[in-house]
Amino acid sequence: MVSSRTYNMVVLVKQVPDTHNVTSNAMKEDGTMNRSALPAIFNPEDLNALEMAIQVQERYGGHVTVVTMGPPTAAEVLREALYRGVDRVILLSDKKFAGADTLATSYTLKCAIEKIGDYDLVFCGRQAIDGDTAQVGPQTAEKLGIPQITYAESVVNLEGDEIVVERAFPMGKELVKCALPCLLTVVASANRPRPPSARKQIEYKLAATPLEYRSLLEKWNEFGTEEALDTYLAARHLKIPLWTAADLGADEGKLGLAGSPTQVYKVNFVVLETTESKEVLANSEGIAALMQELVKEYIVG
């Protein structure tokens, strides 16, 4: 029973602010966030999802398409995906997508995946570090009407129309078998994502979406017009396709802010009371005195 078929895959990725490295200088004096101090990065677990898809491709063949929804600058994560060897990338960008919560986001992604069409597996990271919700994967699976396998750690086997996946939780593991197509959300422990290939980096560093043409023309004025640049890039497979709400044929009432049931009522900064602290010298006398004090106050028994 050796399967000779190949598998077409879609990987959903997101560009996020690097919230894990919020240092004190990323917070302003008034307690607000200094966003410019937070670099935009490839969501870490989405890199694990991408790696898992590329490994499946290496083992079984098939195509890998990477999709992201975001502002024009999100094209950067698509170039990062091209540097790692994927076949095709697509940017979903439209003002109508803005302000989407997880339900509206998953609807948009569902429309894009259905437009791509022929797919066997959808991969995404378990969660994105800017929201930590872990909702978009399951909600996209539901909208597509396919099963979901969350917390996926490894693809154990793929044969015919069935996949065997190991899931990993903080408190255990589970081995599941599922009919294709299905969606996997991938955990950080799944693999070590490969670095970008130097050769691909050279090959694709000029890859751009139409939304970037204007700023590119400022650098390369020899092209003169966006049309000329478009023709040049398209001929060299360097044009990153842009899909808008109209391209997706989406129901606009389900997109962006309009399609989002949840609304942010307010945002507070975490304010903590400061404490008067006692300085303890970092030498054996200082430490011994501290220990005596803790014992006396019954803090250490």
State which of residues 14, 24, 59, 100 lies at the interface with another protein (CB under 8 A): 24
Given the complex with another protein, which of 116 and 188 has the nearer CB atom?
A: 188
- What are the tokens at 233? 């890039």
Cα 175 to Cα 183: distance, rounded to the nearest angstrom: 15
State which of residues 55, 135, 201, 244 lies at the interface with another protein (CB under 8 A): 135
State which of residues 75, 92, 100, 141 lies at the interface with another protein (CB under 8 A): 141
25 binds another protein (CB under 8 A): no
Q: Which amino acid is at 169?
A: F
Given the complex with another protein, which of 180 and 217 has the nearer CB atom?
A: 180
Cα 186 to Cα 180: distance, rounded to the nearest angstrom: 17
290 binds another protein (CB under 8 A): yes
202 binds another protein (CB under 8 A): no
State which of residues 2, 219, 284, 296 lies at the interface with another protein (CB under 8 A): 284
Q: Distance of alpha carbon 127 from its chain centroid, rounded? A: 8
State which of residues 106, 108, 154, 209 lies at the interface with another protein (CB under 8 A): 106
Minimum distance from residue 291 beta carbon to another protein (Å): 4
Strand partners, 162: 159, 179
Residues 206 and 172: beta-carbon distance below 8 Å: no
State which of residues 5, 28, 95, 177 lies at the interface with another protein (CB under 8 A): 177
287 binds another protein (CB under 8 A): yes
Segment contacting another protein by CB under 8 A, of 3-11, 209-217, 228-236, 293-301: 293-301
- What are the tokens at 4? 């000779």
Secondary structure letter of residue 16 according to DSSP: E
Cα 216 to Cα 219: distance, rounded to the nearest angstrom: 5
Q: Which amino acid is at 288?
A: A
- Within 5-147, strands assigned E span 9-13, 15-17, 40-42, 64-69, 88-92, 121-125
235 binds another protein (CB under 8 A): no
Q: Which amino acid is at 299?
A: I
- What are the tokens at 126? 């378990």
Q: Which amino acid is at 65?
A: T
Minimum distance from residue 249 beta carbon to another protein (Å): 19
Cα 243 to Cα 258: distance, rounded to the nearest angstrom: 19
40 binds another protein (CB under 8 A): no
Given the complex with another protein, which of 2 and 282 has the nearer CB atom?
A: 282
Minimum distance from residue 256 beta carbon to another protein (Å): 12
242 binds another protein (CB under 8 A): no
97 binds another protein (CB under 8 A): no
Cα 93 to Cα 101: distance, rounded to the nearest angstrom: 15
278 binds another protein (CB under 8 A): yes
268 binds another protein (CB under 8 A): yes
Given the complex with another protein, which of 44 and 85 has the nearer CB atom?
A: 44
Binding mask 147-176 for another protein (x = CB under 8 A): xxxxx------------x----xxxxxxxx
Alpha-carbon Rg for the chain in angstroms: 24
